[in-house]
Structure 1
Amino acid sequence: MTVFSLFKEQVFKNPKAVAVSFNSINQTYSKLYDESEKISALLQLSGVKSGDIVAICMNRSPEMISALLGIVKAGAAYLPLDPMFPDKRLEYMLNDSGTNYLLTESSLFQKFNQFKGKFIDISEVKQIKKLDQTNDLSRPDSLAYVIYTSGSTGNPKGVQILHSSLTNFLLSMQKTPGLSSEDNVLALTTLSFDISGLEIFLPLITGAGITIASKDEAKDAKELLKKIKKDNITVVQATPSSWEMLIDSGWNENLNIKALCGGEALTRELADKILDRVDELWNMYGPTETTIWSSCAKVTKEDTIHIGKPITNTQFYIVDNNLNFCPPGVPGELLIGGAGLSIGYLNKPELTVEKFIVNPFDKEKKTKVYRTGDLVKLNSKMQIEFLGRIDSQVKIRGFRIELDEIEAVIKQSELVKDCAVVVKEINNDKKIVAYMILDNPIDKEEITQQIKKIRENAIQKLPDYMIPSLIIDINKFPLTPNNKIDKKALAELKISDVNYSTSSTKPENETQKLLAKIWENLLGITGIGIDDNFFELGGHSILAAQMLADFEKETCKRIPLAEMFTSQTIRQLASKVENGNIKLNWNPLVQIKNGDENKIPLFLIHGAEGNVLLYRDLANRLNSNRTIYGLQAKGLDGKKSFNLSIEEMAEEYIQAIKSVQPFGPYNLGGYCMGGSVAYEIAMRLTAGGEKVANVFLLETYNACTLEYNQLKKTRIKEKIENIKFHFDNVRSLNGKEKIIFVKRKAETAIKRTGARLNKLANNLGISTTDESSSYFSLTLRDINDKAQIEYSPPKYSGKVILLRPKVSFATEPDPNFGWVDFVSGEFRVYNLDVAPRGMLTEPFVKQTSEIIEKELQF
């Protein structure tokens, strides 16, 4: 038996039963079978053969499930790749697995620029209309899937699971905890997490239904709770962290669900909370190497929390260091044998031999067991209690993490002499903290810069759940009597007792004291040091403008907003003020980032608000050592008159561009209105005989395709949609990112509202305050908005790249944003996984930077 043969039995039993539901759309067993047949045929036409490994990277959808079934029906094993993983990690898994096939969606192709195998676009299945029934090529002794888990060697390792192991697990789960054809199972878990196998395959071999939670719903506890109620979910599998999240969201009433809890140790306190709200609670236990769950136990309020008995055809052994049985009450390592045992790690024979050993209790030495590294004991009731780990592996939010892998990534930096990673409980939340000894840092500022570089490297190579919350430099590690790093002592250190990466130097003169006072008032933070970075403390372009305006009111000294690119600390700003190094003559050109003079620069034109600080995160994210210039608006300083049209801006900015780059090819781009200016600049440069390599339109709509009067009437509706889009972006973030994003957007909204009121008061002649930079920015925004609406672009024969959000405003319905009829040259559109107004903001800017980096040719 295999998963597909068991699924096929249910198709014949009740073909019209609902198999999968997603976004209120239902797919029957018959339809799911037909779709999987087509995908199997598509794979075979693409060259996939029995025994091959097919990587699958897809967004959550019914197509994802039919794709899995199609892969196994074709006799291949699936390798799940999470679209949210860093590109370098995905690249490693593809290379390490040796797969020649990648089944994905065209929108995700850009994540796999280095893949040399065959891309199979899932949309191609639509071209397969009618099929003669194809053979089921899956076999019990063939691979069902390869799934990568964190590895202690510094890279993830691929666990190989046979069909026989998977079906043994599913048939056992069907009996205990139990599932029937009347059940509706919530598919909550990402495909790269092995427990998703229960949520997808167990219902399909039982005749039950699957309800897929979208990515947004999976992250939002309130939305998830609504979905459980609305869709009549009966079985929910989740980690303790996810159950805690649901309870914290306001879940108090009893729901008729069977709750499966696993992936981390279940506490008594949490178990009691869940039991008050569900019909049944089951504690699930098992490592990936023994096929998802290896045991389960029904939890009651009267009994001790334990991991239960082994599932069908599975054996547990508790042993000491010499592999001898441990008597009841004595802790030992758990060994697991039986039908669920993996055949080992893909392409890692040495590691396989180390972890999959000959069964010491098999006299014939024919079977093997897996060394789990889990510390357990038999209690007085002969129940197995989980006590912890005997190595550096941890579980956070259900994800298995080898701290050694994180250490290995950090140690790759030549800046790091040594590193130790621990897990700390901070505000009742598990956080990964990396302590490191840096190689001869000179001063505090250099330490901060080095830590930034180390974090950037980690972001590029590790999934988000493995990135340290804190990276802290330390003078020396605490040691055990055996002269090894004492990680227990490290984990118990108070953050305040170590040399953390923020500044502690207090203001030393009047200028610094005034700046510190202004910063603290604006940012809502006390104790700011003169070497703290304004933007890392939560500052942004609107607050920066307000900060400099407040400073000018107090001192009558003007600091141009562009100075914030090179002077982002109190010490740097104060030094420029005191030494008279500030250039007060306005210049549209601002050097955002200094790079290799042999690489063609990138010029980014301001948006409607006129300043170029909005490109700060993008400049930091771009990996290539390329000089980046911003072009800021005339009149931003409140002294000069404004440019009133796109054409005027283009003419003036071309002169500034040529002052640093006399000849092409040119790389140009801009956000919103700035994209239109970049387009016009490209037109004029090309007409003058210069070459333009790229024009990047970042969420830029060609407003001339819209009806002018209707456009003005719908601006109020657009503002309402804008709030919704920000909310959509927030929902996709984790807790810490969400707080930072909301704080920044709230502060921006408050400042803009204040500026509008100030402008109105000035217009009425009743204001008693001076016009601030926010006032001028607002006036400039209105002028620039009008300029964009009135701009009628000519046809352009060069290369244009449009980066568009996943949805657009009601006033802007065209998926090509009105440009396709104007660009006669190469026109590329990238669809981003972000709502409008988010592509230049962390963490969403990462995808934007990757696309621009790929397109830059010179």
Structure 2
Amino acid sequence: MKAQGSAMLTAPERTDPSSTGLPETPPTPVVRAWFVHERFAAFAASSPGGIAIEDSRHRLSYRQALDWADALADRLRAEGVGPEQVVGIHLDRSAEAVVTMLAVLRCGAAYLALPPEYPEDRLRFMVRDSGARVVVTGDAGLPAGLADLAVAVPVGRPETSPRPASAIAPAVVRPANLAYVIYTSGTTGLPKGVGVTHANVANLVGEAQRYVRFGADETFLQLSPLAFDPSAVEIWGALAHGSRLVIAAPSYSAVDELPSVLAEKRITTLGLTPPLFHSIIEKRPEALDGIRQIMVGGDILSAAKSRVYVDRAVGRGVPATLMNVYGPTECATFVSAQSMAEVPAETTRVPVGPPIAGAGLYLLDEELRPVGLGEHGEVYIGGKPVTRGYLDRPGLTAERFLPDPFGTEPGARMYATGDEGVLDERGVVAVIGRLDRQVKVRGHRIELSELEHTLRLHPDVRDACVLLADAGSPREQLVAHIAVAPGAADDVTARLAAHAAAALPAYMCPGRYVVHQQLPLTHTGKVDRKLLAEWTDTGPAAGSTGGGTPSEPLTAAEELLTAIWRKNFESEAIGPDDDFSALGGTSILAIGIVADAQDAGLPLTLVMHYKNPTVRRAAAALATASDRGTSDE
């Protein structure tokens, strides 16, 4: 059985481009290679002067980028890099990082992003676990904790003279070889590496896809962190089709600069997380008016806010596409896409949409049988997006990657997502939650058990339970409930915050800690998570002064900013000296605070906000900037 009226959706039902409202992508006769790095090289040969990669320091043509990549590939090969080997990239989001990815693929190897802002212990684990013997780095070199694990290869500088066409012989690479590795949160307390193949990438951004239009006249913005799988769509969706790739700043200033970058760089194709999309629509909807293709994925998308973008485009009489995209890292980023132009604003369960070309989307019961209309089941994914599995974890791979009874290829497998779905009256799947304890925080996938494991390693902790509070709102944050050990220090919450920050990426750290002598239990002796989710006696976040009467009178700017902070945090227990991060502040809350401040006449920017993370410091910075005639304090 297949849709409609079935829980099995397969790609052949999606071959008509008119079903997405997009024009059919014209063929590209010059580029027919299977691998994305070969497609890049073909454009370097056919359109050498076309701009490929642009950031704040570089503007590289396809030929210049390829020459730089090949020079780096020579150095990597000298270190023995080849197929099925993993090469770390310890670089910020930048032209250098993308060129390095290209160089690694030209060697036949697989790349692994190692974000410089990650804690050193986590980077060490990723390097050891992946078997990366070589790491490409910038001028600063490798941190001391990595220097003893891998050989550092400098990324170098753009080549100043063209290289002979025969200077580098392409590595012998097969579709089943690894292209890149991405680490996701793990239930055992340790992250796990997902091995994505060249065949997976080729399907994701291949010419058969219609979830967005790929082509040389598109300009993609590379905004996703390099350690997250949407970056593959941004980078190779652009560079495998002769498009221009504009790379956002590597820090929080990327969000601050987003409206101006979208306009100045004439971005046509953009990927966003739902929280960021929602915030822009609420605060600055005009910033997206020039974008004709937007992919939103990683969490639940609001149909009402999507309608604002669609209606603005219709009102201007311009073609625009907004796609709700769905898929896990284990299935190479996206496996389905729903055009939001087809979804009414009052829809409460936005469907994940039909599968992309090459993908299969199944909603199955516990016996792996398709469910009927209105019934619930687990979402399974089959077809070409299914990745190799978890690096060196055959048991976990076998548990989650099962034989696909609906597949047509020998040895076909399907991935058990753990997502709970329901089949609506049209035979379309809508994801309604999780069947396990995995959560999404501002688009980032997190296994709560990994956080709990990390917190339990602290000597002051007897037990820990982490929950997601205010899910889907700008105040969304992780709350850690802690049962403290006898004799725990008075400043245990500050100690735990420092402990988490030293072991986990910032997006995984709890924003609030609640101390208990003992965690509440159910009648079966398990932690009562339902009771903790309803717990109201949370007290102030670490770093909060609890509001109250300030010791010094507030200036007019301080009073205004305090009111804005309290509005966005939805809490009166905030004082002028409370630290934004310690309160559990997020990038989405920061956008709201800055937008409200600007609407009130204060020239606050995100850069200024993050450099001055209290009301009193922000007000002082505004006063100083006013005296100097600047806004970058």
Return 314-323 or 189-198, whichever deviates more.
314-323
Alignment of structure 1 residues 178-577 onto 2, 5 Å: 178-216=213-251, 219-221=254-256, 223-252=257-286, 254-278=289-313, 279-300=320-341, 302-303=343-344, 304=347, 305-361=350-406, 366-425=411-470, 428-441=474-487, 446=489, 448-480=490-522, 482-496=524-538, 519=551
Q: Is the 8 A contact 2:382 2:407 kept in 1?
A: no
TM-score (structure 1 length as normaliser)? 0.59
Structure 1 residues 106 and 302: CA distance shift in structure 2, 3 A: closer
**Cα displacement string for residues 607-627 of structure 1 (whole angstroms, at most 9, x for unaligned residues):** xxxxxxxxxx9xxxxxxxxxx
Residues 43, 501 of structure 1: CA spacing in aligned structure 2 closer, same or farther, 3 A cutoff? closer
Question: What is the correspondence of 1:709-858 to structure 2 with a 5 Å cutoff?
Answer: 731=606, 740-741=613-614, 743-744=616-617, 746-747=619-620
Do the aligned partners of 2:576 and 2:615 also contact (CA within 8 Å) in 1? no
The one-letter amino acid paired with 1:461 is A
- In 2, Cα distance between the equivalents of 1:63 and 1:24? 10
Q: Is the 8 A contact 1:244 1:270 kept in 2?
A: yes
Secondary structure at the aligned position of 1:373 is classed as strand
Contact 1:200 1:210 in 2 (8 A): yes
Question: What secondary structure does 1:410 align onto?
Answer: helix
- How big is the shift at 1:177? 2.3
Are 1:101 and 1:120, in contact at CA under 8 Å, matched by a contact in 2? yes
Q: Deviations over 1:775-827 (max 9, x none)?
A: xxxxxxxxxxxxxxxxxxxxxxxxxxxxxxxxxxxxxxxxxxxxxxxxxxxxx
Instruction: Give 1:51-70 correspondences, 5 Å limit.
Output: 51-70=84-103
Pairs aligned (count): 546
Q: Residues 483-534 of structure 1: CA distance to partner in whole angstroms, max 9, x if unpaired?
A: 43232332232245x69768999xxxxxxxxxx9773757989xxxxxxxxx
Displacement of 1:390 in angstroms is 0.9
| Residues 113 and 93 of structure 1, relative CA distance in 2, 3 Å threshold | closer
How many Å apart are 1:227 and its aligned residue?
0.9
Which residue pairs with 1:3 in the alignment? 36
Q: Distance in 1 between matches of 2:97 and 2:331?
A: 24
| Aligned-pair CA distance for 1:382 | 1.1
Q: What is the CA-CA distance between 1:59 and the residue it aligns to? A: 2.2
In structure 1, how many angstroms separate the alpha carbons of the residues matched to 2:604 and 2:148? 30
How far is 1:312 from its partner? 1.8
Which stretch shifts more, 122-131 or 255-264? 122-131
Question: What is the CA–CA distance in structure 1 between the aligned matches of 2:632 and 2:303, rounded to whole Å?
Answer: 44
| 2:204 aligned with 1:169 | yes
CA contact 1:80–1:147 (8 Å) conserved in 2:
yes
CA distance in 1, matches of 2:163, 2:331: 40
Q: Is the 8 A contact 2:58 2:95 kept in 1?
A: no
Secondary structure (helix, strand or coil) at the match of 2:116 reads coil
C-alpha spacing 1:518/1:281, structure 2 compared with 1 (3 Å): closer
In 1: Cα distance, 2:408 partner to 2:499 partner: 49
Q: What do residues 681-724 of structure 1 show as CA deviations (whole Å, max 9, x unaligned)? A: xxxxxxxxxxxxxxxxxxxxxxxxxxxxxxxxxxxxxxxxxxxx
Q: Tell me, yes or no, if the aligned pair for 1:39 and 1:125 is still in contact at 8 Å.
A: no
Which 5+ residue runs of structure 2 have no aligned equivalent? Answer: 1-33, 314-319, 563-573, 583-601, 626-630
Listed as ranges, the matches of 1:532-681 within 5 Å are none
Q: More displaced, 425-434 or 480-489?
A: 480-489
Query: Which residue in 2 is equivalent to 1:155?
Result: 190
TM-score by length of structure 2 reads 0.78
Q: How far is 1:156 from its partner?
A: 1.0
Tell me, what secondary structure is at the counterpart of 2:200? Answer: helix
Q: Indicate the SS of the match to 2:411.
A: coil
Instruction: For residue 113 of structure 1, report the CA deviation from its aligned partner.
Output: 4.4
* Rg comparison, structure with higher value: 1
Cα distance, 1:99 vs. partner?
A: 1.0
Q: Which has the higher helix share?
A: 1
**Cα deviation per residue 1:555-610 (whole Å; 9 max; x = unaligned)?**
xxxxxxxxxxxxxxxxxxxxxxxxxxxxxxxxxxxxxxxxxxxxxxxxxxxxxxxx
Q: Which has the higher contact order (CA 8 A, sep 6+)?
A: 2
Contact kept, 8 Å, 1:433 with 1:468, in 2: the verdict is yes
Task: Give CA deviations for 1:369-405 in whole Å, capped at 9, x if unaligned.
Answer: 1110011121111111111111111111211111111
For 1:301 and 1:209, locate their aligned partners in 2 and report how far apart those are by CA, in whole Å.
29
What is the letter of the counterpart of residue 482 of structure 2?
M
Distance (Å, rounded) in 2 between the aligned partners of 1:739 and 1:246: 23
- Structure 2 letter corresponding to 1:170: V
Separation in 2 of the partners of 1:190 and 1:361?
35
1:71-93: per-residue Cα shift (whole Å, max 9, x none)? 00101100111122112111111
Please provide the CA RMSD for this pair. 3.6
Distance, in Å, in 2 between the alignment partners of 1:436 and 1:268 is 37
Quote the Cα distance in structure 2 between the aligned partners of 1:129 and 1:183. 26
Query: 1:237: Cα distance to partner?
Result: 0.7
